[in-house]
Structures are given as C-alpha cells and as structure tokens.
Structure 1
Amino acid sequence: MPRLWLVNQFANTPELPGHTRQYEVAAGLVQQGWAVDVFASDFNLTQRRYRRLRFPQLWSSERPAGIHWSWLWVSPYKGNDWKRQLNMASFCVHLLLRLLLVGFIGRISGGGPDLILASSPQLPAAWTCLWIARALGVPFVLEIRDLWPQVLIDQGGKSQRSAMVRLLAWMEHQLYSGAHSVVVLAKGAETYVEERGARHTTWLPNGPDLDLFKLQALTADTSVFTVLYAGAHGDANALDNVIEAARLLEQTIASNIRFIFIGDGPEKQALILQAEGLANVHFENPVPKAQIPALMAKADAILLSLRDVPLFRYGVSPNKLYDAYALGRPVITTVAGAINQEVEEHRVGVTAPPGDPQGLAIAIEKLASTSRIEREAMAQRARHLAETTYSRQRINARYNELLREVIAE
C-alpha cells in the first residue's frame, strides 16, 4: 500500500469552515488503496482560533474517513501583519521537525512516505516540504492553488523588486523545477508555471463531490429571488461592489431580490456598515462545508465576485462556482477572463464586468426576470458541466493515476 504525505496549512475536515479539497482528495485516495497522512494547522484560517489543541499541546491526530490527520500547533494571528508571517514560519518549523523525525523513524521501520504532496498558497511550507522530500529520498509533487508571488504584485501592489517578492520568486522557481509534477487548479496557470521551470503539469481543478452536491429542483417561492454569496469577505472578493448593486436594485422595481452573505473575513465589518439601511442584504456567520449544499440549494442563484486583478483572469479555480454547477443553480459572476467566458459559453448564468455595480445590478435583474423554464435549462447545462469536467470523483481518479505514475518512475 503506497503511503502519501499531504501538506496544506489551511486544510480542513468537513465540520470546519473553509476549503476541504485536501480532505476530499485524501479520502478519495484512501478508497483507492493509499495510506494518507495529512498535516495541517490547527489554527483555523476562517475563525482565527484553535479548534483541537489546548495549551500546552503541540499536536493531535484523528482518523476521519480513514485518513491519518495531524493537527499541528502554529502561532496565532488576527490581521495581515508580522504575526501572519510568524504564523507561516512557525508552521514551517513544526513541519521540518516533525516530518523529518517521523520520516527517518519510518525509514528504519518501513513506515515512511513514498511521496510528499504539498499544496499552496503557502510557498514557504511547500518549499520546506521539497527539502524534506529530498532528505528522505522520496518524490515531491506540488499543487498550486494561488500563484504566489504574482498575486502579491497584481492584487497587493507589491513591487517585483521588493525583498519579499524576490524571496518568494526564488522559492517558486525552486519548487517548480524541483517537483516531479506540478498540479494546477486553474487551467490558465499551466503556462505560468511552465515559464517558471515546471517540467510536467496537470490540470486538476476544484470540483464538487457529486454525491453531496446533487441536482436540486429550483426553489418554489416566486415572491423572493435569493442571491447567495458564500465565502471569504476579503478585499479580493470585491463585495463592496455587490452591496452597491444591491442598493441600486432596492431603488428599482426589483425589490423582490434579496442578498445573503455567508462567511467571514477582514472586510466583513466594513461591509455590514456599508449595507446599513438596506433591507435586501443579510449577513450570516460562516458554516461548516458539510452544511453548504443545503444552504446553496435554498438560493435561486449563486454569486461569485472578484476584483479586476490580472491574475484572476486566468489563475483562479473557485469552489463555489463548481458547487453551484453540481446543484443546478444559475450563477452570477464578475470575474473577467476565463470564468465569465465559461459562464457565457455554456449559458449557465449571467455575467458582469468587475467593479461595475450598475452592470451587476442589470445582470441580476435580468436573471431574476428569466423564465423558470430557461433557468431550469441553465441548471441542466450546469450539472452536465460539473459531471463531465469538474466532479470530485473524476479529479480524485486522475490524482490516483498521477501519483502512482510518479512513484513508479
């Protein structure tokens, strides 16, 4: 039985808020004959608090879905300051000490890993895993969720000459050139990583578990048209643009349109203040991933919003978009480039340019006034797209093939 070590600082199990890609991949690989160890931080990214560990515990383990899951201690942080960098550094140090110790003991006893898979966006942790793999003499595979440091340049306004960007670019090149294979979640990212040294790339996007996200009939309530946003409330998500669109809609005859925001993030309090006085906007707390299918099924449309950042035109693979496809919910997207193009090409919803609240309001009103028959046709097309391209079952099967190919070399 091959053994895989899978590392992502922000990995979650389904009862926690946040992304669960590593859990879903690991559980799928266990079903296909792998022994999988996942190493993640116990400090939850969404809630900014420890979920399992209590002082002075440094780690704990459990076995969800047959996975050997290790929760590691890291230093806490609240905002995007030096404490966040310390948080990342502490995870790297903990990884280095624990994985080297466990790995060398495993080599003696025959229980070490056959392969290490590290998932970004945390490049320092992935870079640490590259050197752990080399020390243990096992192959290394890199999964790229977000393109660091490019996102810091395009979205964060960092200079390419800044010390942080240059350090991350150096790590990035070492990772791409040192990995046996680089898995990209966004199809458009393949060229990016190849230009920076990747020898072999594979596109394995985010995608829904079709057994959990089942095709659901459209809501029966015709008096209210509910638009749901579920995800991070950060600067990149441009939800201020959505609030302004909601304000425009409340001032028109489209007063039956309601917006629900589920999640958390650094911009949430500012958004709540911006939405004061709007009866058509409601904010709710983040919920575990396991509750998302039922919540999304109650909506009439699912919203995906991002700022107009060059990287987002080709380098994103948004979970909630593909979850909506699987449920059969029309989508509303404001992501210039590949995402808006896909929605328009497959006719699974409506689009608007990013940063254009009037255009977004017009698009939402257009969808709300679309006949039920046409929205049901959108639902069928979306479900077909989920089944043929984005299903978690297809992605996990391809992951199994890829990783077995790597260890067979």
Structure 2
Amino acid sequence: MKKRIWIINQYASTPDVGFGGRHYYLAQELNELGHSVSVIASGCHHLLRTPVKFKGNTKKELVGRVEYVWMKTVKYVKAHSLLRVFGWFQFSQKISKADKLLGDKPDYIIYSSPSLIGYIGARELAKRTGAKLVFEVRDLWPLTLVSLGKASKNHPLVLLLSHLERSAYQHSDLVVSNLKYAVDYMIDKGLDPKKFKWIPNGFSKYEVESQKESLSESVVEELPNDKFIVGYTGTLGFANNLGELIKVAKLFEKDAELHFVLVGGGQEEESLKRLTDSLKLDNVTFIKPIPKRQIQSILEKFDLLYIGLPKDDLFKFGVSPNKLFDYLYAGKPILYAVDSGRYNPIHESKAGISIEPSNQMALYNAILKLKSMSPAERMEMGQNGRNLAETDYEYSQLARMYSDLMR
C-alpha cells in the first residue's frame, strides 16, 4: 500500500542549492516506488552553497517529482555559531505546524537528526496528524558533541539533548540509523531493539551513469602525469585525519613515482597547506572542490583512494561517510584508516586494505604494499568494491528497505 511520507531534515538540500544527499535520493526513489513524498527543510543553513530565496516565511517547489517545503530560519555562516543553535528551536517550532502548510496528513513522518531539538516539533506534528513517527539517527548526538566536540557532559544543552535522545528512542514508532551497530548504544538509552533498522547511506547509480561530467582542463592540468596517485576527495577537516596522510607523504618524498592529491575544501585547508610547506613537500597537490558530477571522473585518475578518521570509541558503532560509496563504485582499491568496530566493509569485501587510524607506519606500509601489487591485483580489489556498492549501497535498494518498513 502506498503511503504519504514527510521527511523532515533541517539540513536537507538539492543538487541545485547544496549537495543533494541522502534524503534527496531517498525521496526520489520512494516516489518511484509509488509513495507520495514531501521533504521539509530549512532554506538557510551552512551546508547550502546557495541559500533558498524567500518571498515569505516558506517556499514550496517541485524537485523532480518530490515536493520540497523550505522553512525560513535565521541565517548564519559558521557551523559553530550560536545562531545555529537558535535555528534548531526556530525550525522545531515551524515544523510543529507543517500540516497547516502542506494541507494534508501523512502516514509516516521521518525526522532525521543530528539536531535533536527538532524532534520536539516532529513529535507534536505526528501526534496531531496521527502519523507514525520514524526517528532517523545519522549522528549520535550528544555523544558526538562530547566525544569529538569536547563539550562537557554537564553542559545544559548537552543535558537537554540527552533527555530528548532517550525520549526519541522510547517514544518513536521506529528508529532507523545509517550506523550499523548504533543499536548497541541505543539499547542502553531505552530503545526496544525490535524497533531498530539499519539503512546506510549510499549512492545513486543513475546519477553516476547518466550525469557524469568530464574534468575541466584546468583540473586536468593540476594532476601529475605518469605517477601512482594516492587520492582523497571530500572535506578538508579535522575529522578526516589528513594531517597523518601528509606526514606519511614526507616518507615518500624520494619516491619519484608516487604523488598525493587532495581534492576539496574546508576548515583545515590552510593548516594542511602550511603543514605541507613546512615539510617542504612537492609530492602533494591540493585541488579546489569540484562539482559532484565530476567526482567519478577524478577518482578514475587515482590509483589508490584514502579514507581516514581519528581513533575514537564513537566510531565503534559504525560509520557511513558519503565518500565511501563514491570510492567503492569507482572500482579502485581503498585504504581504510578507520576503526569502525565490527563494521568494516573494506576488509569484509576485500576492496582494499584496512589499517589502524593515526598510525603513520601502518599507513606507509599499506601504501607501499598496494603500490607494489600488480595492476591485476589492484583491479580485483577495485571490482570487489564496485560489486559491494551495487549490491548493498545503491539508493533504489535502500529506498525499498525504507518502503518495507512502512507497510
């Protein structure tokens, strides 16, 4: 039976104004399965490349066949701004009355974190409309704020978020997470494990195949020729452990065949460039962010793909970085410097080498090992990764998993 579904994610976007992402693809695919889907999001947040233009306090538009409802909230630039926190409460208040704006009633409301404040409004909305409430956890807040953000467990905001977290686990009809073993953490917070379902992030094969773009000439000119390239694409941030990669590049400075290429931007960009300069490296190249449609084109130029995270107990419940699925589909061996507990898709699928994070010698030896392999051996690893991507992480399949939950 087809359902009316509202997906609420304050930080949702489309490819035109942001980066698309999980709910853009899931909404389109759920619609293809016959469901009627609306996405409710803020039109003003730090993850949008182009803020939504408003004439009033809301804006409706059709994106593909999916209705997007944008809520006007306070503008801010930096992710750590206090205005962002104010925007959580503002968005929560606005979505609590979303039924008056949409003019109908949903069968299911999917409220997606990380912001827990909006859960208050989503729960009120679900109660008034009689909808079943799905709480989707994409980041374990407030644990992440304490573990990585170094916030105090006793901070008033952290205490409030902890209370909301427990309430959400206990009172939602279903709980979904892109972190495979988050259920282990949630049970201790009062979740009935029967309500839990793992639905990871993924990739859109249709988009990759039909909308792929060639690299611009300027980008091609920045790439080194006739080198074995260790590549990275994505945010240049602290959480991606790129400083370790650059320090290991120092160990390869006399290897004329090997080069490191980092594609992207972020808060750590300048500090990473300063580190490169201080180490006097000429085997590291930084390339500015490129359009998503060109990601596969640049991954084709690389011989080895790097993904890393700091060592932290937070990740033992699993990870689901979007770049992982782009990497898998690219069909290149992956160097997985992540301790993600029992969830290790690279090791399990033999799609590359998994190593301990923040271990420079392990990273050095892994690069050396992959470089010394025959092209056929690396190609086999890459094909294993692509097979895994197509089997387990394509958004049309993930949407069917969601659809089966909402029967």
Does the alignment reach a TM-score above 0.5? Answer: yes
CA contact (8 A) 1:104 1:136 kept: no
Amino acid at match of 2:404: E
**TM-aligned CA distance change 1:205 to 1:291, over 3 Å:** same
Q: Deviations over 1:322-376 (max 9, x none)?
A: 2222221211111013478432232211233211223212212221221111011
Greater shift in the superposed pair: 10-19 or 300-309: 10-19
- Which residue in the other structure is 1:270 paired with? 271
Secondary structure at the aligned position of 1:122 is classed as coil
CA contact (8 A) 1:41 1:91 kept: no
> Could you tell me how far 1:400 is from its partner in structure 2?
1.1
CA contact (8 A) 1:18 1:45 kept: no
1:13 equivalent in alignment to 2:6: no
CA contact (8 A) 2:40 2:70 kept: yes
- Which residue in the other structure is 1:24 paired with? 25
- Which residue in the other structure is 2:173 paired with? 180
CA contact (8 A) 2:10 2:91 kept: no
Secondary structure at the aligned position of 1:299 is classed as coil
Amino acid at match of 1:118: Y
User: What is the CA–CA distance in structure 2 between the aligned matches of 1:15 and 1:329, rounded to whole Å?
Assistant: 29
Secondary structure at the aligned position of 1:74 is classed as coil
Superposed counterparts of 1:9-408, under 5 Å: 9-18=10-19, 20-46=21-47, 50-53=50-53, 57-81=56-80, 83=81, 85-97=82-94, 99-104=95-100, 111-199=104-192, 200-213=195-208, 223-250=226-253, 252-253=254-255, 255-276=256-277, 277-338=280-341, 341-403=344-406, 405=407
Amino acid at match of 2:186: V
Secondary structure at the aligned position of 1:275 is classed as helix
Q: Deviations over 1:248-288 (max 9, x none)?
A: 222x32x3322222233222221122122422222233334
> Could you tell me how far 1:399 is from its partner in structure 2?
0.8
Amino acid at match of 1:188: Y
**TM-aligned CA distance change 1:229 to 1:400, over 3 Å:** same
CA contact (8 A) 2:204 2:395 kept: yes
CA contact (8 A) 2:17 2:52 kept: no
**TM-aligned CA distance change 1:356 to 1:141, over 3 Å:** same
Q: Deviations over 1:202-248 (max 9, x none)?
A: 0111112233446x9xxxx9921222222222222221111111222
> Could you tell me how far 1:105 is from its partner in structure 2?
6.1
- Deviation beyond 6 Å, 4+ runs, structure 1: none
Q: Deviations over 1:15-72 (max 9, x none)?
A: 455461000000001101112111222335346x643326x65433321220111233
CA contact (8 A) 2:180 2:200 kept: yes
CA contact (8 A) 2:318 2:340 kept: no
Q: How many residues align?
A: 389
Greater shift in the superposed pair: 274-283 or 143-152: 274-283
**TM-aligned CA distance change 1:264 to 1:72, over 3 Å:** farther
User: What is the CA–CA distance in structure 2 between the aligned matches of 1:212 and 1:100, rounded to whole Å?
Assistant: 34
**TM-aligned CA distance change 1:18 to 1:259, over 3 Å:** farther
Q: Deviations over 1:93-118 (max 9, x none)?
A: 24523x44441465xx6x23222111
Amino acid at match of 1:360: L
**TM-aligned CA distance change 1:211 to 1:248, over 3 Å:** same
Secondary structure at the aligned position of 2:7 is classed as strand
**TM-aligned CA distance change 1:124 to 1:167, over 3 Å:** same
Secondary structure at the aligned position of 2:176 is classed as strand
User: What is the CA–CA distance in structure 2 between the aligned matches of 1:339 and 1:241, rounded to whole Å?
Assistant: 24
TM-score normalized with structure 2 length = 0.87
**TM-aligned CA distance change 1:7 to 1:288, over 3 Å:** farther
> Unaligned 5+ residue runs, structure 1?
none
**TM-aligned CA distance change 1:331 to 1:44, over 3 Å:** farther
**TM-aligned CA distance change 1:58 to 1:380, over 3 Å:** same
CA RMSD of superposed structures (Å): 2.5
CA contact (8 A) 1:17 1:287 kept: no
**TM-aligned CA distance change 1:41 to 1:88, over 3 Å:** farther
Greater shift in the superposed pair: 332-341 or 17-26: 332-341
User: What is the CA–CA distance in structure 1 between the aligned matches of 2:359 and 2:395, rounded to whole Å?
Assistant: 33
> Could you tell me how far 1:148 is from its partner in structure 2?
0.7
User: What is the CA–CA distance in structure 2 between the aligned matches of 1:304 and 1:290, rounded to whole Å?
Assistant: 20
> Unaligned 5+ residue runs, structure 2?
213-223
User: What is the CA–CA distance in structure 1 between the aligned matches of 2:117 and 2:233, rounded to whole Å?
Assistant: 28
Sequence identity percentage: 31
